[in-house]
Structure 1
Amino acid sequence: MFNQLIIDITAFISTNLDDLFVLTFLFSIAKTSKDRITIATAQYCGLVVLTLVGTIIGKLINGVSPHLIGLIGVIPIIMAIHLLLKRFRKSSDMGEDVPQQSVISFIFVISITISNGADNISVYVPLFSQFNILRYSFMLIIFAIMTFIWVLIGYNLARLPIIRNTLAKTNQIAIPIILFLIGCYIISKNGLPFF
């Protein structure tokens, strides 16, 4: 049981360490408690989607092409371009002073969570394919607890004045840049099916 706990915690941390930075960033730009609840909820839903996809692939085909995972990296790049175009349209319509609106939405956060975690599937597939229902249930509980811990850490890091103030000043440009970098990272790590 202890070995299973160590394996599950290690699998979670190794596949979700980058997600901690994304969570910190998202919490730092959250303007309301509704935004913070949306971030936490979408984070859990994203984890559920990734876990289910990893399980289904593990049980059905016992593997997934890294190039297909790389294709998911296009999603945050498209989101980044969309946000930049939206920002530049608003700035040209209203002058240089663009009011800071919250970009936090369930779809926005779950898209980032799934895109950022897509490469986790390559770890989850071999891991989940060998689990029975009891072992799988244990792992799900550990992942849920670890996600809660990740959300708390991200929230508390975002409350640090140096992080909050820096990101609050730069979030209009930082959000698209971070999304673009996440997409490039996923593509560079996994490749694309047509290259």
Structure 2
Amino acid sequence: MVGQAVGLFAVTNVDDIVILALFFAEGAGHRGSARRIVLGQYLGFAAILVVAVAAAVGATFLPESVIPYLGLLPLALGLKAAWQAWRDRGDSGEGEPDRDGGPGPLEVAAVTFANGGDNIGVYVPVLATAGTGGMAVYTVVFLILVAVWCFAGRFFATRPVVAQALARWGHVLLPLVLITIGLLILVEGGAFGL
């Protein structure tokens, strides 16, 4: 069952490594940003698990028709990041590292949760058939793997070639990825009749 949990997590969270790498690149040079990103990732993924477990035991928190509208969260955050990148386009970014710079935990949590709508849809039937003991195994394995994903995201963001590319293009890539994720969630979920 542990192997199944690892496989399920990996398949449903591949895109999170890219998003985490972008967040870690955005937070580079800002004290405490790694801690805020990891906290946000755990908050967002914990919310996904709470909804999936509750739905699996029959207490659905979010009607299925609402899930596509979660795409508005990364879309709004992407537009905000694009506006900030455009506004700061002439800033060289040199100087003293900003203590509170980089993404905040609630921003990371919102993106993680919104991007997890498909995870919820996959996790619910698996958890519903796993029973109480199996549900506990899946939950523990998933929470351990969130740490592995955070490590992998930070690892990729700190590789010289990747770090240089993210430093040069991250301010463009992060808004682009967030806006794309938001639009995909909205369109694939049929929000607004799309």
Cα contact 2:75–2:183 (8 A) shared by 1:
yes
Cα contact 1:68–1:193 (8 A) shared by 2:
no
- Cα distance in 1 for residues equivalent to 2:116 and 2:180: 14
Letter in 2 for 1:28: A
- Cα distance in 1 for residues equivalent to 2:162 and 2:53: 36
Moved over 4 A (4+): 61-67
- Cα distance in 2 for residues equivalent to 1:47 and 1:55: 12
**Distance apart, 1:38 and its partner CA:** 0.9
Distance 1:45 1:64, change over 3 A: closer
* Aligned residue runs from structure 1 range 95-106, under 5 A: 97-98=90-91, 100=93, 102-106=101-105
> Which is further off, 167-176 or 51-60?
167-176
Count of aligned residue pairs for this structure pair: 187
User: How big is each residue's C-alpha offset from its partner over 1:82-126, in whole Å with a ceiling of 9 and x where there is no partner?
Assistant: 2333444x45xxxx5235473311111111111111211000111
**Distance apart, 1:72 and its partner CA:** 0.7
Cα contact 2:41–2:105 (8 A) shared by 1:
no
Cα contact 2:45–2:113 (8 A) shared by 1:
yes
- Cα distance in 2 for residues equivalent to 1:152 and 1:80: 23
2:152 corresponds to 1:153: yes
**Distance apart, 1:145 and its partner CA:** 1.7
What is the percentage of aligned positions where both structures have the same residue?
Answer: 21
2:132 corresponds to 1:133: yes
Letter in 2 for 1:151: C
Counterpart residue number, 1:163: 162
Counterpart residue number, 2:44: 46
- Cα distance in 2 for residues equivalent to 1:21 and 1:99: 25
For structure 1, which runs of at least 5 residues remain unmatched after alignment? none
Counterpart residue number, 1:24: 21
Letter in 2 for 1:46: G
2:6 corresponds to 1:9: yes
- Cα distance in 2 for residues equivalent to 1:146 and 1:56: 21
Cα contact 1:66–1:191 (8 A) shared by 2:
no
**Distance apart, 1:17 and its partner CA:** 0.9
Cα contact 2:51–2:61 (8 A) shared by 1:
no
- Cα distance in 2 for residues equivalent to 1:105 and 1:170: 20
Cα contact 1:62–1:125 (8 A) shared by 2:
no
Distance 1:146 1:87, change over 3 A: closer
Distance 1:30 1:180, change over 3 A: same
Task: Please provide the CA RMSD for this pair.
Answer: 2.3
**TM-score after normalising by structure 1:** 0.84
Counterpart residue number, 1:124: 123
**Distance apart, 1:173 and its partner CA:** 2.5
Letter in 1 for 2:118: D
Cα contact 1:23–1:151 (8 A) shared by 2:
yes
- Cα distance in 1 for residues equivalent to 2:145 and 2:71: 24
